[in-house]
Copies of this chain bind each other. A is one copy, B any other.
Amino acid sequence: MSRTVLMLPGDGIGPEIVAEAEQVLKKVNEKFGLGLSFESGLVGGAAIDATDSPLPAETLESARKADAILLGAVGGPKWDSLPMAKRPEKGLLGLRSNLELFANLRPAILYPQLASASSLKPEVVSGLDIMIVRELTGGIYFGQPRGVRELESGERQGYNTYAYTESEIRRIGRVAFEAAQQRGKKLCSVDKANVLEVTVLWREIMNDLCREYPDVELSHMYVDNAAMQLVRAPKQFDVIVTGNMFGDILSDEAAMLTGSIGMLPSASLNSDKQGMYEPCHGSAPDIAGQGIANPLATILSAAMLLRYSLGEDAAAEAIEAAVSKVLDQGLRTADIMSDDGKRVSTREMGEAVLAAL
């Protein structure tokens, strides 16, 4: 019963950080006798350079067969002028939609050791622990029709479609209600139901679902207010559920409240619990190849992978404890460096986690 983990390093700092996470996975594989085997593949800009496609058929095939995927990051200025269909991001979006990874879980947690990294006052963020549940395979990211057309007047118009069906809303709603049940039992659904019809339906379905989860307290918030409340008093939230586009914006905003986006993992799951795991940060082309990127978000993504897709909680906890330990030791990559920290490279941070395991 060998289980396969597919490594997709991608672009920018992706290869550097995935290399460290791979060492960590291999170590717990041995230590806990998990019976994992590892494969790797090309996606994003790296795949474009090698095969002219951001998501080669071979990668998609391996991804379908894998039990879980660990992704670095995709994109960079090198590929920015390519037409939409050939951009690195299409590799990521293609994986999400082909594997139906509709449930994106993005925790925003403030590590006590890194509290001073936040741009917010300590009393506003200390102890912050929010989970954002973002719908990932629908909404305006995938809505049809889309494109640029010429109007009768002769000028061009760009257009996209923001659409959700009842069943798409219901399945992400369930994931969010269940997450809330396992946490603080508070769920805030974010929409723009005072303006957008699609989110009126969203709100209606969330209200429907609520009856099945009587132990969860459901509230609704408009997206503009949510963007404000995250800045004003983020600790009012437990679980937030929202659509693809609003989730993209709010999860990044929430992540940045911690001041250490280099620490935050994410999971994208389908209904078979097959999942793709990746750091919340991007490919950071400006620091790629310098060996200074923070590998911890990717290492913590590997921990999420073990927990959510493979059910290996003990191994996941071991990794998380090891990360906490290296932070306690004062080890810091450049992005989380503070006055009393000990600055280390990507590789050194990875080695320290291995040693702590």
Which residue in B194, B197, B227, B255 is a CB contact (below 8 Å) of A159? B197
Q: Is the CB of A119 within 8 A of B159?
A: no
- A163 & B157 in contact (Cβ 8 Å cutoff): yes
Chain B residues, Cβ within 8 Å of A194: 75, 87, 89
A124 within 8 A of B: yes
> Which residues on the B side are within 8 Å of A162 (C-beta)?
140, 159-162
Give, as a whole number of angstroms, the nearest-CB distance from A230 to chain B: 8
Tell me if A237 is interfacial: C-beta within 8 Å of chain B: no
Cβ-based interface call for A228 (8 A)? yes
Residues of B within 8 A of A311 (CB): none
Q: A188-232: contact bitstring with B at CB < 8 Å (1 yes, 0 no)? A: 000010111111111000000000000000000001110111111
Q: Please provide the chain A residues from 213 to 262 with a CB less than 8 Å away from any CB of chain B in the complex.
A: 223-225, 227-233, 245-246, 248-253, 255-257, 259, 261
* A84 interfacial by beta-carbon distance below 8 Å: yes
- Which of the residues B160, B163, B196, B233 comes within 8 Å of A197, measured between beta carbons? B160
* A223 near B248: Cβ-Cβ < 8 Å: yes
Q: At the interface, yes or no: A141 with Cβ under 8 Å from chain B?
A: yes
Q: Which residues of B contact A158 (CB under 8 A)?
A: 163-164, 196-202
Give the contact stretch, choosing among A4-12, A143-151, A316-324, A338-346. A143-151
Inter-subunit contact A232/B256 (CB<8 Å): yes
With a CB–CB cut-off of 8 A, which chain B residues contact A164? 157-158
A-B contact list, 22 entries, CB within 8 Å: A84-B197, A84-B200, A89-B195, A93-B195, A119-B120, A121-B121, A148-B197, A148-B201, A151-B165, A155-B166, A158-B197, A158-B198, A158-B202, A160-B198, A161-B162, A162-B162, A224-B249, A227-B249, A228-B252, A229-B256, A231-B257, A249-B249
Q: Which residues does A use to contact B, with CB under 8 Å?
A: 75, 84, 87, 89, 93, 119-121, 124, 140-141, 143, 146-148, 151, 155-167, 192, 194-202, 223-225, 227-233, 245-246, 248-253, 255-257, 259, 261, 282
